[in-house]
Amino acid sequence: MKVKEVAELTGISVRTLHHYDDIGLLSPQKMPGSGYRLYETKDLEKLQQILFFRELDFPLRQIKEIMMSPLYDHEEALRVQRKMLIDKRKRIDQMITTINQTIQCEEGEIEMTDKERFAGIDFRHNPYEEEARQRWGDTAVEQSKKKIASMGEEEQQEMAQAFDAIYKKLATVRDEPADSEKAQAYIEEWFLYLNQLGSYSLEAFKGLGQMYVDDPRFTKNIDKYGDGLAEFMKNAMAVYAERNQR
């Protein structure tokens, strides 16, 4: 599908699609030669997600962060979005009754306090935001994610390659002991690389390794490079952290 077709299907503007491409939120294939954007089914799926997030007032940057995360799970996102939409509907119900009361109040039938007058309008601690932050919010990993999201297209490309390279290297030595020279050398490379993104203390670094095995979503992604890589990295990272912690 080309831009206008997508625009007409979804009700958003062509410019919006351009914008989402510009910021790297949704970058479809481009027709070689003409440079036309071509949206496939997977792009439409992603766009659907994006628009749900947008309806829930997530800033685009955060949407990007969430969806680029290695922890991202499409179906889980849908469930959380559903919950948040239900909460939003509750808020609207609240506002409707507030209006009803206000009308009655205007006709002198009832009295209203100032608080009641704004029930439903107040946004501050709506539970669905809480829910979302809990699910995707500011963990230690978050910092590096932010950095990643703020990077330009080529930079991201470079980084993805660097990650890939390091994982592959590590995968080749995953059957050696975790404290072997090679393993520790690669792990150091890994540590130094991570510290270009955000500052990881040795403690945090060790914790990150622990997460690799504790969180099945992490494990799954890492073990794509080789069975048992997550476990191996956890051990090697722990060794590295302890050795260098004086």
Report the distance separating Cα 15 and Cα 193, nearest Å: 37
Check if the beta carbon of residue 44 is closer than 8 Å to that of residue 83. Answer: no
Of the candidate spans 116-124, 131-139, 211-219, 220-228, the one that interacts with a copy of itself by CB under 8 A turns out to be 116-124
Task: Tell me the per-residue interface mask from 19 to 58 with DNA, x by CB under 7 A, - otherwise.
Answer: x-x--------xx-xxxxx----------------x----
Give the helix, strand, coil percentages of the chain, each rounded to 5.
Answer: 70, 0, 30
* Residues of this chain, 19-58, that bind a copy of itself according to CB under 8 A: 44-45, 48, 51-52, 55
Specify the residue, 52 or 191, whose C-beta has the smaller distance to a copy of itself.
Answer: 52
Specify the residue, 31 or 121, whose C-beta has the smaller distance to DNA.
Answer: 31
- Is residue 201 near DNA by the rule CB under 7 A? no
* Stated length of the chain: 246
| Tokens standing for residue 137 | 């919010």
Report the distance separating Cα 165 and Cα 180, nearest Å: 20
How many residues make contact with DNA (CB under 7 A)? 24
- Is residue 75 near a copy of itself by the rule CB under 8 A? yes
Query: Which candidate, 161, 174, 192, 187, places its Cα nearest to that of 239?
Result: 187
* Residues of this chain, 58-77, that bind DNA according to CB under 7 A: 59-61
Q: How distant is the alpha carbon of residue 96 from its chain centre? A: 33
Work out how close the CB of 246 gets to DNA at its nearest, in angstroms, rounded to a whole number. 7
Give me the amino acid identity at 98: T
Check if the beta carbon of residue 238 is closer than 8 Å to that of residue 206. Answer: yes
At 53 the three-state DSSP class reads helix
Burial category of 93 from C-beta neighbours within 10 Å (exposed 0-12, middle 13-18, buried 19 and up): exposed
- Is residue 146 near DNA by the rule CB under 7 A? no
* Residues of this chain, 128-157, that bind a copy of itself according to CB under 8 A: none
Residues that bind a copy of itself (CB under 8 A): 9-11, 44-45, 48, 51-52, 55, 74-75, 78-79, 81-82, 85-86, 88-89, 92-93, 95-96, 99-100, 102-103, 106, 114-115, 117-118, 121-124
Residues that bind DNA (CB under 7 A): 2-5, 12-16, 18-19, 21, 30-31, 33-37, 54, 59-61, 246
